[in-house]
Amino acid sequence: MVSSSHVTPFPADEPLRFERLSVFVRGLEVEAGIGVYDHEQGRLQRLVIDVTLELEPKPIERLGDTINYET
User: pLDDT: is 67 or 16 the higher one?
Assistant: 67
Residues in CB range of 33: below 8 A, 6 or more apart: 42, 43, 44, 45
* Closest to 29 measured CA to CA, from 46, 51, 45: 46
What are the residues facing 51 on neighbouring strands? Answer: 25
d(CA 50, CA 29): 9
pTM of the model: 0.50
Residues in CB range of 10: below 8 A, 6 or more apart: 16, 17
Confidence of residue 64 (pLDDT cuts 50, 70, 90): confident
